Chain A
Amino acid sequence: MTGAGLAVREATVRFGPTEALSDLSVSVAPGEIVAVVGPSGCGKSTLLRCIAGLQPLDRGSVLWDGVDLAMVPTHRRDIGLMFQDHALFEHRSVRDNVGFGLKMRGRKAAERDRRIDELLELVGLGGFGNRAIPSLSGGEAQRVALARALAPSPRVLLLDEPLGSLDRARREHLVGEIRSVLREVGQTALHVTHDQDEAFAVADRIAVMRSGTIERIGTPERVWHDPGTAFVAEFLGHNVISTPEGPAAVPADAYRLVPTNGLEPGPPAVVFDVRFRGDHTVVTVDTAEGERVRLRTGEPTSLRPGDAVGVEIDPERVTPLGEDPNPA
């Protein structure tokens, strides 16, 4: 784990009797984007604050290229930080916001101006330099915050729910934009969000957090197809069913609904709820095995609650789950 880039090692943070982080370890290689997801209160923002030096660790360490940062205060850590509420400096213009980090690093005015223009161009706000902060829309403010964080080329960019305050459509649009901007500059980044779609859209690797520890980490594909624990499977929206070999995860789209003709060997499943979601429909059924599962179908359906229906599973997509490391 000691290598280039950012590493958090066995970090523990206590708030009174509760542990916000317990023995958490994670590393981010140079140029890599890692997304940390988890339910609210799982400690993901605390992890960010520790890396930023805003929250002291009770145990463990934060390292950069193998060097411990414990004695380095926030303003010398060379990090970028982006918040949900933008945290822009309202008394300064867009230019001055973006240029703030450069000024703190003692860059010359001419160099600053060049870099500011470059960054505003990059986030699609060319010509916005002299605008006042209160005149910006939510999306624009978010881009300024991104430009400001990127301007000094920080070693690592920390994003704390950066898009939480935007509506869904704008969020999806900006997620794509953030990813391409981060890629373009090869930015190392740690992106904290509660929204798994956002995490999947941005990250090279995804870490799923649960009560202060990382329960699963890997590429989006791997975490999706092999969630490892029931907690992660459920967090991703998979069904957890029991099989003779033990619990297993089944994604909602791994099922197929088939009409029942009453000739099947076993009793059919019964529809509990049908929810039309636009491009797909979520059908919740109670199976003959007594489990309630959510399944997802792209085809139109005329099922109603109480209908009997046959359910087939794609056996390829049933993934056995390991033992739960920390049962709830």
Chain B
Amino acid sequence: MRPRSGSPLVIGLLPLAFLAAFFVYPLAALFVEGFRFGPDEIGGVFSRSRFWRTAWFTVWQAVVSTAVTLLISLPLSAVVGRYRFRGRSVLLALVTVPFVLPTVVVASAFLASLERLGLADRFGNSAAVIIAAHVFFNVAVVVRTVGGYWRGLDDRPEQAARVLGAGPIAAFRHVTLPRLRPAILAATSIILLFTMTSFGVVLLLGGPRRGTLETEIYRFALNRTDFGTAAVLAIVQLVAVLGLLVVNSWLARRLTQRERRGATARPRPRGRQWLGIAAAVVPVMVFLTVPMSALVERSFRSGGSYSWANYRALTDRPPLLPVDGVTALSNSVRFAVAAMAIAVGVGVAASVVIASSSRAAHLRPSRAERAMGWVLDVGLLLPLGTSAVTLGFGFLVALDEPVDLRPTWIIIALAQSLIGVPFVVRAVVPVLRSIDGHVREAAAALGASPSVVRREIELPMARSAIGVGAVFAFAVALGEFGATSFVGRSPDRMTVPLAIGQLLGQPGQQLRGQAMALSTILMVATIVVIMIIDRNDRAGVL
């Protein structure tokens, strides 16, 4: 009977082509670029001490960042998972903000706080500040993954252990902790992935002499235009990231397979429990709010007094920068809107295919449909795990053929949308899957053809999820730094994150003030976006 127009196989062609042209092809081109080097030259890359220093720092800072994050976030996860209290959702929202802040904003915030606390001389360009910034935006990963999982756990095994004679600590060690393990491992592997591929924070806070694989790819490709070395480094990074992604998806599957149901009502804390909660919450909250407040404070400080001067200066073009701040803002919004449109188109089409390919066997998705669903499901998540720098570099190397996209601004929107698509898919697929089969069948019986069912029933029901995915894609595009650094190099395409990066790289109090003003604007925009998402997010994308 199939495929007809409107069948999943036809719909899947769009996201499949997108994935092939803008993910597989650029990465393949990187491989070609890397292997254009002879064995000697490749060996040369690995024999440099700079390579090993970089690789060591990449791994070292990632492991330390992850360990510190776990250490301060697990008590917070316990609070979120075990108790019900006023302010719990505020706490969760506050933890989430740093996670979604663009990396350049995080870098600005840490520079502002070092300056404010008078620590700039001691900790400027240090590994410590990079690690602190990584902890800052990864607390949310632990609290949301582990705390959320904890909250969903059934209490009765612990109660059974207590009845059998285990004290609270023994019950925690022997029953709760083993049950939490999949969530803790999943959070750990995600944070390792994020910190290994972190770019903006390392570039802007680490100074010229400190580098990870990410910043080295950037420096070799753009500062030295040594594409060969950069490509070899990118391949190393890709292989490492792929390994982590495999581990991560395996852990994520275990997380959903395990016991979950039977969420017990959580008690309100009493008496001394409040003390413990305060001890877990307050230091972390201080740590998370100080950089953000320091950023806002710095953005209003200009020449020793507070004023709107830094914001007003955004209309003038600063020396050494190709455009003024307002132009950068309007560029950013334009690219982000285009990226959002692409991400929604591709993401919704992919979601339809993924959702229908995983339906029950009697609804008979064909083997080809299942295969396509799987490819899209896995394939569209990959760009999220792949480092932005690698993607941007791939775009730069590959997209001059067959059509040279590099001179057009569409290439920026494409790069940014690649990272937005997974959010759309994650928001929409669960909603489409949750639509009861009987609803579809009832619509068919009433005379709706499959494509009408999709248009009249499925998509309207998924409307709010599509909105959430779209807003998320917009936010991601707005703050994107790594990939845009490669494709947004011409003056008329400067975005806010690129402008902030350049301003921070220049000496001078006034330029720094402008960077802080732009960062604050970006931060406020991000917070607004989170609030919109938080209200409508049923699938739990955030």
Write the residues of chain A forming the contact surface with B, with a CB cutoff of 8 angstroms: 15, 52-55, 73-83, 85, 87-92, 100-101, 104-105, 145, 148-149, 152, 154, 158
**5 further A-B pairs in the complex, CB-CB below 8 A; given A88-B439, A152-B446:** A85-B436, A88-B442, A89-B443, A89-B461, A91-B461
A75 touches B461 (CB 8 A): no
Contact with A along B427-466 (1 / 0, CB 8 A): 0000000001011011111111110100011001101000
A104 touches B448 (CB 8 A): yes
Tell me the nearest residue of chain B to A79, going by C-beta. B445
B431: shortest Cβ distance to chain A, in Å?
Answer: 11
A80: shortest Cβ distance to chain B, in Å?
Answer: 7
Candidates B441, B446, B460; contact of A101 at CB < 8 Å = B446
B448 touches A87 (CB 8 A): no
B445 touches A74 (CB 8 A): yes
16 pairs of residues in contact across A and B, judged by CB atoms under 8 Å: A52-B445, A54-B441, A73-B449, A75-B446, A75-B447, A75-B450, A75-B452, A79-B445, A81-B442, A81-B445, A81-B446, A87-B439, A100-B448, A100-B456, A104-B452, A149-B442
Tell me the nearest residue of chain A to B363, going by C-beta. A54
**Bound complex: CA A152 to CA B439 (Å):** 17
**Bound complex: CA A90 to CA B100 (Å):** 32
Q: Answer yes or no: B362 CB below 8 A from chain A CBs.
A: yes
A90 touches B461 (CB 8 A): yes
Which 9 A-B pairs give the minimum distances between C-beta atoms? A104-B447, A101-B446, A81-B445, A87-B438, A74-B444, A87-B442, A83-B438, A87-B439, A75-B444
A101 touches B461 (CB 8 A): no
Tell me the nearest residue of chain A to B444, going by C-beta. A74
**Bound complex: CA A76 to CA B461 (Å):** 24
Chain A residue numbers with a CB within 8 Å of B438 are 83, 85, 87
Q: Of residues A74, A77, A81, A101, which shows the largest number of chain B Cβ atoms within 10 Å of its Cβ?
A: A74
Chain B residue numbers with a CB within 8 Å of A101 are 446-447
* B133-152 residues at the A interface, CB under 8 angstroms: none
B5: shortest Cβ distance to chain A, in Å?
Answer: 14
Chain A residue numbers with a CB within 8 Å of B448 are 75, 100, 104
A83 touches B461 (CB 8 A): no
B510: shortest Cβ distance to chain A, in Å?
Answer: 53
Write the residues of chain B forming the contact surface with A, with a CB cutoff of 8 angstroms: 362, 436, 438-439, 441-450, 452, 456-457, 460-461, 463
**Bound complex: CA A92 to CA B459 (Å):** 12
**Bound complex: CA A118 to CA B452 (Å):** 26
Given A87-B436, A101-B446, A74 and B460 contact (CB-CB distance below 8 Å): no
Chain B residue numbers with a CB within 8 Å of A77 are 445
Q: Of residues B362, B441, B447, B456, which shows the largest number of chain A Cβ atoms within 10 Å of its Cβ?
A: B447
Chain A residue numbers with a CB within 8 Å of B460 are 91-92
**Bound complex: CA A140 to CA B456 (Å):** 23
A316: shortest Cβ distance to chain B, in Å?
Answer: 46
Tell me the nearest residue of chain B to A46, going by C-beta. B362
Chain B residue numbers with a CB within 8 Å of A88 are 439, 442
A119: shortest Cβ distance to chain B, in Å?
Answer: 13
B446 touches A148 (CB 8 A): yes
**Bound complex: CA A283 to CA B438 (Å):** 42
A104 touches B446 (CB 8 A): yes
Given A55-B362, A104-B452, A89 and B445 contact (CB-CB distance below 8 Å): no
B362: shortest Cβ distance to chain A, in Å?
Answer: 7
Tell me the nearest residue of chain B to A16, going by C-beta. B361
Tell me the nearest residue of chain A to B442, going by C-beta. A87
**Bound complex: CA A7 to CA B441 (Å):** 21
Chain A residue numbers with a CB within 8 Å of B457 are 89
Tell me the nearest residue of chain B to A56, going by C-beta. B364
A72: shortest Cβ distance to chain B, in Å?
Answer: 12
**Bound complex: CA A91 to CA B460 (Å):** 7
**Bound complex: CA A309 to CA B124 (Å):** 100
Chain B residue numbers with a CB within 8 Å of A100 are 443, 446, 448, 456
Chain B residue numbers with a CB within 8 Å of A54 are 441, 444
A153: shortest Cβ distance to chain B, in Å?
Answer: 12
Given A91-B461, A104-B452, A75 and B439 contact (CB-CB distance below 8 Å): no
Chain A residue numbers with a CB within 8 Å of B456 are 100
Chain A residue numbers with a CB within 8 Å of B461 are 89-91
Tell me the nearest residue of chain A to B438, going by C-beta. A87
Given A100-B446, A104-B446, A104-B447, A87 and B441 contact (CB-CB distance below 8 Å): yes
Tell me the nearest residue of chain B to A78, going by C-beta. B447
Chain A residue numbers with a CB within 8 Å of B441 are 52, 54, 74, 81, 83, 87
Chain A residue numbers with a CB within 8 Å of B450 are 75
B444 touches A89 (CB 8 A): no
A125: shortest Cβ distance to chain B, in Å?
Answer: 18
**Bound complex: CA A141 to CA B534 (Å):** 31
A93: shortest Cβ distance to chain B, in Å?
Answer: 12
**Bound complex: CA A269 to CA B447 (Å):** 60
**Bound complex: CA A193 to CA B463 (Å):** 36
B447 touches A76 (CB 8 A): yes
A17: shortest Cβ distance to chain B, in Å?
Answer: 15
Tell me the nearest residue of chain B to A148, going by C-beta. B446
**Bound complex: CA A74 to CA B443 (Å):** 9
Chain B residue numbers with a CB within 8 Å of A76 are 447
Given A76-B447, A91-B461, A152-B447, A83 and B442 contact (CB-CB distance below 8 Å): yes
**Bound complex: CA A55 to CA B360 (Å):** 13
A158: shortest Cβ distance to chain B, in Å?
Answer: 8
A70: shortest Cβ distance to chain B, in Å?
Answer: 11
Tell me the nearest residue of chain A to B462, going by C-beta. A91
**Bound complex: CA A54 to CA B437 (Å):** 11
Chain B residue numbers with a CB within 8 Å of A15 are 362
Chain A residue numbers with a CB within 8 Å of B449 are 73, 75
B52: shortest Cβ distance to chain A, in Å?
Answer: 57
A279: shortest Cβ distance to chain B, in Å?
Answer: 36
Tell me the nearest residue of chain A to B439, going by C-beta. A87
Chain B residue numbers with a CB within 8 Å of A92 are 460
**Bound complex: CA A248 to CA B95 (Å):** 74
Chain B residue numbers with a CB within 8 Å of A158 are 445
**Bound complex: CA A81 to CA B443 (Å):** 9
